[in-house]
Chains A and B, each alone.
Chain A
Amino acid sequence: MEAPRNIINITDLSTEEIDELIGVAQDIMANPADYQDICHGKQLATLFFEPSTRTRLSFESAMLSLGGATLGFSEAQSSSASKGESVSDTIRVVGNYVDIIAMRHPKEGAPIAAAMKTVVPIINAGDGGHFHPTQTLTDLLTIKRQKGTLEGLTIGLCGDLKFGRTVHSLVAAMLRYKGVKFVLISPDELKMPDYVKEEMDEAGAPWKEVAHMEDVMPELDILYMTRIQKERFFNEEDYLRLKGTFILNRAKLKTAKEDMIILHPLPRVDEISVDVDDDPRAMYFTQALCGKYIRMALILKLLGIRKEA
Chain B
Amino acid sequence: MNIDGVNNGIVIDHIEAGKGIRIYEQLQLNKLDCSVAIIQNVASEKYGKKDIIKVDQDIPLDFDVLGYMDPHITVNHVKDGKLASKVHLELPETLTNVIRCKNPRCITSVEQEIKHIFKLVDREKKIYRCAYCDVEHKEY
Contacts and interface: CB of A to CB of B under 8 A. Distances in A.
Interface string B129-140: 011111100000
B133 A109 contact: yes
Contacts of B114: 86, 88, 113
A128 B105 contact: yes
A303 B134 CA distance: 28
A129 B131 contact: no
A107 B110 CA distance: 9
A88 B133 CA distance: 16
B132 A108 contact: yes
B137 to A, nearest CB: 14
Interface in A35-88: 86-88
A29 interface: no
Nearest to B109: A107
Contact of B111 (A87, A106, A128, A130): A87
B105 A87 contact: no
B107 A113 contact: yes
27 contacts: A86-B113, A86-B114, A87-B107, A87-B111, A88-B113, A88-B114, A106-B105, A107-B111, A108-B107, A108-B132, A108-B133, A109-B130, A109-B131, A109-B133, A109-B134, A110-B132, A112-B131, A112-B132, A113-B107, A113-B108, A113-B111, A113-B132, A116-B115, A128-B105, A128-B133, A129-B105, A130-B133
Interface of A: 86-88, 105-110, 112-113, 116, 127-130
Chain B's interface size range is: 10 to 19
A108 B133 CA distance: 5
B112 to A, nearest CB: 6
B127 interface: no
Q: In the A-B complex, list the 7 residue pairs whose CB atoms are closest, starting with the nearest.
A: A109-B132, A108-B133, A107-B107, A110-B107, A109-B107, A109-B133, A113-B107
A127 B103 CA distance: 14
B113 A109 contact: no
A116 B111 CA distance: 13
B109 A130 contact: no
B101 to A, nearest CB: 8
Interface string B108-125: 111111110000000000
Scoring B107, B115, B132, B133 by chain A CB atoms within 10 A of each residue's CB, the highest score goes to B107
A110 B113 CA distance: 13
Contacts of A129: 105
A105 B132 CA distance: 13
Given A88-B111, A113-B111, 12 more contacts: A86-B113, A86-B114, A87-B107, A106-B105, A107-B111, A108-B107, A109-B107, A110-B132, A112-B131, A112-B132, A113-B107, A129-B105
A76 to B, nearest CB: 11
B106 interface: yes
Contacts of B105: 106-108, 128-129
Contacts of A88: 111, 113-114
A125 B105 CA distance: 17
Scoring B103, B109, B111, B114 by chain A CB atoms within 10 A of each residue's CB, the highest score goes to B111
A128 B111 CA distance: 15
Contacts of A110: 107, 111, 132
